[in-house]
Amino acid sequence: DTAVSQTPKYLVTQMGNDKSIKCEQNLGHDTMYWYKQDSKKFLKIMFSYNNKELIINETVPNRFSPKSPDKAHLNLHINSLELGDSAVYFCASSQWAGGSTGELFFGEGSRLTVL
Amino acid sequence: AQTVTQSQPEMSVQEAETVTLSCTYDTSESDYYLFWYKQPPSRQMILVIRQEAYKQQNATENRFSVNFQKAAKSFSLKISDSQLGDAAMYFCAYRSLINTGTASKLTFGTGTRLQVTL
């Protein structure tokens, strides 16, 4: 039973299109994240939600819009895709309140290719 | 802001040998977590080992152990009896214990690619 699941795992699309990536966690965690891994494998935080509230919003173009309908789900919508958006996007979750061991649990990543 | 530095872009080790991956970090905080994550070609991020800064004892997980030097802000990973399945990208990461906003994120180093040869 997958703890953090993302869909789709692969996404190929044309410049200018709009796309979404969905993430769900069944760990009962209260905090979820989106990370971007570029072609050099560097992992950078994009957004984080704690109990549906946005708590981290790094310097990300406003074409990227996260949405958390409940604390088990965090989606990422990207408008007007550009070539530079090609990357692997990781969803992750952690338990921040009480009993946390600190680590983030990651999904398998969604590889986005913009042509 | 915290930073994490991995100065070895690539390392190579022979099967059954021991290798050490380096990591240094910069922080003004006294309590935090440090992690090593492994990313094999499947791209799944897998937790290898965790260290709480308030614990003086170095963490160990089977063939994996760390050398945590808090004063030097150093956190190296030692892999003993290396196996072909250890070949992967290894990321060092820092997380604050402060329970507010941006402190909840993991800050990663740039990674070290480990090759394991026969």
Q: Which of A31, A44, A56, A104 would best serve as a mutation to test chain B binding (most B beta carbons within 10 A)?
A: A104
- Please give the pLDDT value at position A91: 97
B85 φ, ψ to 5°?
-70, -5
Could you say which residues of chain A have pLDDT below 70? 1, 97-100
CB contact under 8 A, B95 and A102: yes
Contacts of B107 in chain A (CB under 8 A): 45
CB contact under 8 A, B43 and A108: yes
Q: Mean pLDDT score of chain B, rounded to an integer?
A: 94
Query: What is the sign of the dihedral through the CA atoms of B96, A103, B39 and B58?
Result: positive
Q: Are B18 and B12 contacting, i.e. CB atoms less than 8 angstroms apart?
A: no
In tens, the pLDDT along A58-71 reads: 878 999 999 999 99
Q: Are B78 and B65 contacting, i.e. CB atoms less than 8 angstroms apart?
A: yes
d(CA A73, CA A100): 19
In tens, the pLDDT along B43-101 reads: 999 999 999 999 989 999 999 999 999 999 999 999 999 999 999 999 999 998 876 66
- Please give the pLDDT value at position B99: 65
- CB contacts < 8 A, A to B, total 58
